[in-house]
Amino acid sequence: MLVTGDKLCADQRLPKVAAACSFALHSFAALIVSPIITFAAVVTAVRLFDNSSRVNSVFNAGGGANPLFWVLGLLMGLLVNRFVLRLTACWVWLVGTGWMACGIFAALGSYRSQYEGICSPLDNIKNEFFSMSSGICGNGIHVMWFTLPLFCSIAYSIGAWISLRLFSQAAQTHATR
C-alpha cells in the first residue's frame, strides 16, 4: 500500500503496534510471571522439605543473585521466544533495570538518618536489595519486589537471545533446503 500525502497507511503503523505489544507481553512474562512462579516454587520446596536447614542454606546462598531464583527467567525466555522469535524479547532487561533503579531511588529517599554512622546509604541498599538476611542495615525486603524481577528479566533476555540465534538459524537452513 502506498503512502499518499500526510496519511500513514495501516501497514506502516501495524509493525510498531505489534512490536510494542510484543515488548509489553514479554516484559509481563519476565518481570511478573517468572518471579511469581519462582516464588511459588521456592515456597513449595521449603514446605516440601519441611523448612530444613539444608534447603534454606541453598536458597540463601548468594542472596538475590542466587541462580535458582533467575534460572526460570532464562528457561521462560528460551521457551517463549522459541515459538514467537521476536527481537523485542531481547530488550526486556531494560524494563527490569528501570524497575530496579526506581526501587533504589525510592529506598534512598526513605533512608533514615538515625542509621547514619552505623550504616551508610550504600550499605542499606546492598542489604535491602541483595541480601536475604536481616540486620541493622536492611532486611532484604526488596529482594522479592525489585532484585528478583531484575535478574529474571536479564535472564529472560539472554534466553530469548539464545533462542533467537538458535532457532532463526535453524529456520533459515531449513528454508534453504
Q: What are the grid coordinates assigned to 168, written together?
A: 532463526
Q: What are the grid coordinates assigned to 98, written together?
A: 528501570
Q: What are the grid coordinates assigned to 120, written together?
A: 551508610
What integer is the mean pLDDT of 146-168?
92
Q: What are the grid coordinates assigned to 36, written together?
A: 511469581
Whether residue 26 contacts residue 89, with contact meaning beta carbons closer than 8 Å, is answered with yes
Looking at this protein, which amino acid is placed at residue 44? T
Backbone phi, psi, residue 108, to 5°: -65, -35
Render pLDDT for 94-106 as a digit per residue (tens, 0 to 9).
Answer: 999 999 999 999 8
Beta bridge partners of 138: 135
R_g (Cα) of the chain, nearest Å: 21
What pTM does this model have? 0.80
Render pLDDT for 6-55 as a digit per residue (tens, 0 to 9).
Answer: 443 344 566 888 889 999 999 999 999 999 998 898 888 888 888 788 87
Q: How many CB atoms lie within 10 A of CB 72?
A: 21
Whether residue 160 contacts residue 90, with contact meaning beta carbons closer than 8 Å, is answered with yes
**Residue that has been written with the C-alpha cell 519462582 in this structure:** 38
Taking the C-alpha atoms of residue 38 and residue 82, their distance in angstroms, rounded to an integer, is: 21
Which of 164, 18, 1 lies closest to 78 in space, CA to CA? 164
Whether residue 141 contacts residue 130, with contact meaning beta carbons closer than 8 Å, is answered with no
Looking at this protein, which amino acid is placed at residue 150? L
Specify the pLDDT at position 6.
41
Render pLDDT for 112-130 as a digit per residue (tens, 0 to 9).
Answer: 766 667 788 888 888 788 8
Q: What is the DSSP letter of 9?
A: P
